[in-house]
């Protein structure tokens, strides 16, 4: 089931050769700009443009000012109507002025959160990679070691300071878990930053020196007071908001009174056990669940037994 589940996860399907060796090509920016086949993907924050058919919208090198931070994303591995196999793709991290010149309609720029499930596997791979690296570049303009400005090298995958120190992108691992009890109800929590009727799975970052399984046990206990056993890996999802890898699990609550579930009162303000009937009767009305782009939604639907007719 894990392979089948993982193959259906939004943002996790990727048909792209990242072509890491090509990143070290001499004068790579010029090489890519001089090739008329290169597709440039404009990225403004975490927003991109789409064509009328829902595919990602690319621009030409002429529409991307020289000096714009760019990232070599890789090359297509199969033919598509807009790009044959071997086509190279570049993300261009554009500022507000360039974004307006490319597309003056602000509403046309959309967040990946809103349309990620609608993209092809190739476009999902391009978009997730681009947004994750856009977020990394946005906060690494200066060396964390010396405070000096950094230069973009290696096709946008490294930043180097004047002292020669190289800085590489990082991904933060976080677990997310569907906890069920003896009655096969699922445990959902409401975060302090959300609307009162919004619930999702319990989740949290993996701490240094901690295994994924121990992170599952710790986070569930800290946030709900529930002990779990036998965490089972389901699949993972890149979540570039700003730089996470969500690692999905399911686990069983240790036998005992499920009414002992209680929120931590700081990060989580409420935790409840939900039956399938509860979800069927309340979801979308008095109960708001995670959006379709998230692994949380996928795990809930896996437990529920099928897709929910919700945004």
In the chain, where are the structural domains located? 2-138, 172-304
CA dist 162 and 211 (Å) reads: 37
Q: Which residues of the chain have pLDDT under 70?
A: 1-2, 256-259
Q: What is the pLDDT of residue 258?
A: 62
| Domain 172-304 annotated CATH 3.90.79.10 | yes
- How big is the chain, counted in residues? 311
Q: Tell me: the pLDDT tens digits for 99-129?
A: 999 999 999 999 999 999 999 999 999 999 9
Q: What is the pLDDT of residue 259?
A: 67
Quote the DSSP letter at residue 95.
-
Task: For strands 151-153 and 158-160, give the pairing.
Answer: antiparallel
Task: Using DSSP, state whether 160 is helix, strand or coil.
Answer: strand
Q: What is the pLDDT of residue 256?
A: 65
The answer to whether the predicted template modeling score (pTM) of the entire model surpasses 0.85 is yes
Sign of the alpha-carbon torsion through 123, 124, 129, 132: positive
């Amino acid at each position: 089931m894990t392979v089948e589940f993982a193959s259906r996860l939004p943002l996790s399907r990727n048909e792209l050769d990242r072509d890491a060796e090509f990143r070290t090509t001499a004068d790579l920016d010029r090489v890519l700009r001089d090739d008329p086949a290169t597709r440039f993907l404009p990225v403004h924050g975490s927003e991109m443009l789409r064509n009328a058919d829902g595919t990602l919208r690319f621009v030409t090198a002429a529409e991307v000012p020289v000096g714009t931070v760019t990232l070599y994303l890789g090359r297509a591995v199969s033919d598509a109507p807009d790009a044959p196999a071997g086509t190279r793709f570049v993300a261009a991290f554009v500022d507000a002025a360039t974004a307006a010149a490319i597309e003056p309609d602000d509403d046309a720029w959309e967040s990946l959160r809103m349309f990620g499930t609608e993209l092809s596997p190739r476009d999902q791979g391009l978009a997730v990679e681009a947004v994750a690296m856009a977020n990394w570049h946005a906060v690494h303009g200066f060396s964390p070691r010396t405070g000096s400005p950094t230069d973009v090298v290696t096709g946008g995958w490294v930043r180097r300071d004047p002292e020669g120190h190289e800085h590489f992108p990082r991904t933060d691992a976080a677990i997310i878990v569907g906890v069920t009890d003896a009655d096969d109800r699922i445990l959902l929590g409401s975060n302090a930053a959300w609307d009162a009727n919004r619930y999702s799975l319990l989740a949290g970052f993996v701490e240094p020196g901690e295994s994924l399984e121990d992170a599952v046990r710790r986070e569930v206990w800290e946030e709900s007071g529930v002990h779990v056993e036998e965490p089972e890996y389901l699949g993972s999802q890149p979540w570039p908001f700003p730089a996470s890898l969500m690692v999905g699990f399911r686990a069983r609550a240790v036998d005992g009174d499920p009414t002992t579930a209680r929120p931590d009162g700081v990060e989580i303000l409420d935790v409840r056990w939900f039956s399938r009937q509860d979800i069927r009767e309340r979801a979308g009305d008095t109960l708001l669940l995670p959006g379709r782009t998230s692994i949380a939604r996928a795990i809930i639907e896996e437990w529920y037994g099928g897709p929910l007719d919700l945004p």
